[in-house]
Structure formats: C-alpha cells, structure tokens
Structure 1
Amino acid sequence: MFSNAKLNEKIAFALLKVATGLVVAFVLVILYYIIYNGYSAINLEFITDMPRNRMTEGGIYPAIMGTTYLIIGSMAVALPLGILSAIYLTEYAQPGRTTWAIEMAINNLAGTPSVVFGLFGLAMFVKYLGFGPSIISASLTLALLILPVIIRASQEALLTVPKEYREASLALGVTKWETIRRVVLPAAIPGMVTGAILSIGRVAGETAPILLTGAAYFLPRLPDSVYSQFMALPYHLYVLATSGTNIAQTRPIQYGTALILLTIVLCVNLVAVSVRSHYRSKMRR
C-alpha cells in the first residue's frame, strides 16, 4: 500500500512538472517569435514619434501614452472600489440574501465577455452620461471589467490573514476599522497586489471595450483631456494586422507594437511583484 502511494505521488509530481514545462515552453516560444520579428522596428523614433502616412511610418508614441492613461484611469477607479467591496464582504457582511446576490453579481460579471462591457460602456458612459468617445469612457468601462478580479483576489487575500490577528487587536481595545486598517490590510497586501497585476495585464490587452468607447484608428497627437479620443496599443495592433491596406509594409510595426505592449505589461508586473515581495518580507520580520 505504501509503495503504491509513493508511486502515485511520483507520477503526480512528474505530470505537474511536464505541465509546468509545457506552459513555460509555450511562453518562451511566443516571446521569441515576437522579439525575433519585432526587435528590428524598435528604436527611439519608433517609441517617441507620432505615426505618419496612415500608420505606415513614424512611431507609436500616442498609442503608448493612451495605454498608460487607460491603465492609470481604470486602476484609480477599480482598485479602491474593489478593495472596499472585498472588505465589506469579508469583514462586515452577514450571510443572507443580500450577500448572496452580491456574490452572484460578482460571479456573473467575471464571466461576462468583454464586448458586452464595451456595449454597456457605449450606452452608459458615451451616450447616456454624455462623455462621448473618450479616455474617461474607456477607463470606466475597463474599471468595471476588472472589478470582479480585484474583488475576488482581495477577498482571498483577506481570508488568508489568520483570525488570531483580528482577535488579538480587538482584545487590546482597538476598534474593528482600526484593526482592519492597521493589522488586516497590511498582511493582505501581497495577495491584493496579485489581483492588481492580473488586472493591469487585462486592461493593457483589451480591444473590444476601447473599440466601442473611444479608441481612434489614426490620431497623430496626444489627447487634450480625459474627454478626448485616444490611440491604444492593442487597438493599434488590431488595425495594423487586420484593416490596413499595406499589411506587408506594416508587419515590422505590428510586431514592434506587440513587443512594446509586452514590455509595458512586464515592467508594470515587475514593479508590482517587487511591492508584493517587500510587504511579504516586512510581514516576516
């Protein structure tokens, strides 16, 4: 019996290693393919110049800045709202119909296709609220898109904090809110940062929502305000690859754009991972 259990354990670990190796291999192949085809287009002009001649020449600076604005705008709305919602559901809400309805709404939002969020953003922010095709319309739409991810990740992070932390703080006469703010939240920050990482990656790569709420095909200038249209890397890449009249001529720009997009997401992720590691090491002290 013992030998069979050992054999099953070895087989399970072997399968896990194979699966992990396949995932890493696929990621490396994709990265190699994009870097190999896109590095020739990367230079200072490509990063800092405006597009010219219907995007067949020049750079992608407006698309880089547009993607940056979307990340900042959507995270500024979704992160505090998601964390506060998770705190309410984890620390304050009592089991019942209201809590069940909120949980079901979050689950349904998490499974809703991104194009549906785009249609909602078009109807609500662009038309009804009168923001028009703009950065604010796209940012609010993307904030709704990533909100379920942030709520779920924050909930899981809060649930991993031992109850003894809360009980010890409350036993000293500290209020519940002060306990959450000074004891629970610092311990849960590494898990919350994980949710933020996933959300940033999704914001940077979404095309359908911004296509319907403000992304422009060709805009060789920076937005004047949050109510202006904008260019963004994923939509820029989509247009170059599918709708351009000189697809062969723009192919290096396509791969260069994809490489820049991956680099931005990677840099943001590295910053977030370093923040998570800092708080984890701080909690171990």
Structure 2
Amino acid sequence: MLFGVEIQTLVWLTIALLAAGAATGLLAGVFGVGGGAVAVPILYELFRILDVPEAVRMPLCVGTSLAVIIPTSIRSFNAHRAKGAVDISILKIWAIPVVIGVVMGSGIARYAPAGLFKAVFVAVAGVSAVRLLFGRDSWRLGLDMPGKLMMVVYGWIIGVLSALMGIGGGQLSNLFMTFYNRPIHQAVATSSGLGVLIAIPGTIGYIYAGWPHMADYADVAALRPPLALGYVSLIGLLLFIPTSTWLAPVGARLAHRLSKRRLEIAFGIFLLVVCVRFALSFFV
C-alpha cells in the first residue's frame, strides 16, 4: 500500500498518466492549446481513485493542469514560432490583461464551489465545438481583429476563464481569432503563446488559493491529497511533464501539415468529447 492505494493500482495509474501526458503534449502542439482539456479529466479520475475529497478535487485538477502546461506551452510556442506562424503583435496586446485575468480567476478559485469549474469547462468547450464543426465563413464578428480596447477586454476574459478551466487559453483565443477572420493555422500558432502567460501566474495563484483548504486535511492522512502543494499535485505534475513536453513539438509540426478544414473538424470533435465528458460528470 502507498498513500492508501494498492501498489498494482498505482502502477497502472502511472502508465495511464504517462500516456495521458503524451496525448496532452501532442494535442497542445496540434491545436495550440496547453493540453488542460485532456489533463483535467484524467487527473480528476486519478484523484477520485485516490479518494481526494470532492470539495478540493476539481480545483486540484485545474491547478495541477496549469503547472503541467508551463513546459508544454513553451515547447509548443517555440515550434510554432520557428515556422513564422505566430502573430506577436496580438500577444503583446493580450499579455497584461491576460495575466490580470488569471490572477483574478485564481482568486475566485479560492472560494468557488467545485461545480463552477465544471460548468465553465462545459460552456466554453461546447461553444467552441459548435463554432468549429458547424460554423460557416459568414460567421464573423469582423474581417480583422478589433481595436486595442476590445482586445484588452478579450484578453482579460481569456485569462479569467482559462484560470478556472486549467487550460492554456488556446480554446478561447482560437475562438476569438477565427471569429475575426484569422486563419485557423495562425490562430493555433498564436494561441500557443498564451500558455506561458496563463500557466505561470495561474500555478502560483492555485498554490496560494489551495493552501488553507489543504491545511484542513493536514491532520487526516486518509483525506490529504498526497504530495500536494496547495492546489497543485506534484505526483500529477511529475508524471505528465516528460511525455507531454516531448510530444508538443511533434504536434506542432503535424498541425502545419493538416488542411484548414481538417484541423477545424479535429479540434471541434476533441472539444465536443471534453464537453460531453464533463457534462456527464454532473450526474455520475
């Protein structure tokens, strides 16, 4: 027994987490996302098996996902930038409002119920999936990106929602950019740059937000999440990083080989699966 769990179970969980880390890195590169939409549900199942209390399970998944995104996003962004597909001007405008939004989202996490994290996940993933799978070229908010003030507002929204979802901002920024007539390949590449801006302050924020809640279980070993630093699980972090970091550049190279429509369909199906998974979790 280790942390109250059978060794055989932990071995299989380790294998599953390494495989999930690989999928996270690949998807991060292909879709320009940090991989949180994959990492969060996998971590949720892990913590359920480890009997982590429901009250802290979902925010622990989100905080750990943000920590995993840091190295994955760096590698994904560098791979996309090497191909000259990243619009740096957009990242410069979004940088400050995104970070402010992340800090605010992390603050909300300190007091938010577990259901809020799932609800945000389902809402954003659902809208994004519908746009990518069924959207037409006529579905536009404009033919070019909006003015600086509106861009700042969008950046703030991306930061807040990403912090509550445990994602690198790729889902949201892809959605905004394609609504403003940007090609999906450029949207994916530029979105990869948001991961670092979101993940670093988000991770710090979730460590701070979870500290008092984890302290509630400090004297109850059976309930204490093993090796958790606030809302960040060091076990999940260490098992995800090696394979996710390794495969992020592979995904980025694959993204540039896919046609525009194939990339949209693949991303839409991926988000729809995530949306359904978390919607079902409200009832199971």
Return the structure number with greater relative CO, CA threshold 8 A, min gap 6: 2
Q: Please say which structure displays the higher CA radius of gyration.
A: 1
| TM-score, structure 2 as length reference | 0.32
Give the TM-score taking structure 1 as reference length. Answer: 0.32
